[in-house]
Amino acid sequence: MKKLLTLLAAALPLLAAAQENPPPAAPPSAAELGDAQLSEADQQKLVKIFQDVQEMRKQNRFTDAIAKLDEAEKISPKNGLIFTMRGDIHLAPRRRDFDLAKEQFLKAKELDPNNAGPAFNLAELEFARHDFPTAAAAFRKLVADFPKLPQVIRHLALSRIVICEARQKKFDEAEKLIKESFTFMDDTPAYYFSNAAISFAKKDEKMAQEWMLRATSIFKEQQTGPYIDAFKEMRWLPDVDYQALPDPSAGK
Q: What is the mean pLDDT of each run of 10 residues along the chain (252 residues)?
A: 41 34 40 63 90 93 96 93 94 93 96 92 96 98 95 96 98 98 97 98 97 97 95 91 72 59
Q: Quick one: pLDDT at residue 22?
A: 36
* Phi, psi at 18, each rounded to 5°: -80, 0
- Closest by Cα among 228, 181, 226 to 14: 226
- Rounded distance, CA 170 to CA 34, Å? 42
In terms of phi and psi (left: phi > 0; alpha: psi -120 to 50; beta: otherwise), the region of 169 is left
144 DSSP assignment: H
Q: Which CATH architecture has domain 1-18+41-115?
A: Alpha Horseshoe (1.25)
In terms of phi and psi (left: phi > 0; alpha: psi -120 to 50; beta: otherwise), the region of 34 is left
Whether this model's pTM surpasses 0.75: yes
Q: Quick one: pLDDT at residue 20?
A: 36
What DSSP assignment string belongs to 47-106? HHHHHHHHHHHHTT-HHHHHHHHHHHHHH-TT-HHHHHHHHHHHHSTTT--HHHHHHHHH
* Phi, psi at 242, each rounded to 5°: -100, -5
Q: Where are the domains positioned within the chain?
A: 1-18+41-115, 130-252
Q: Quick one: pLDDT at residue 252?
A: 60
Length of the chain (residues):
252
- Rounded distance, CA 5 to CA 84, Å? 8
- Rounded distance, CA 174 to CA 114, Å? 29
- Please check whether residue 80 is in contact with residue 111, taking contact to mean a CB–CB distance below 8 angstroms: yes
Q: Quick one: pLDDT at residue 8?
A: 40
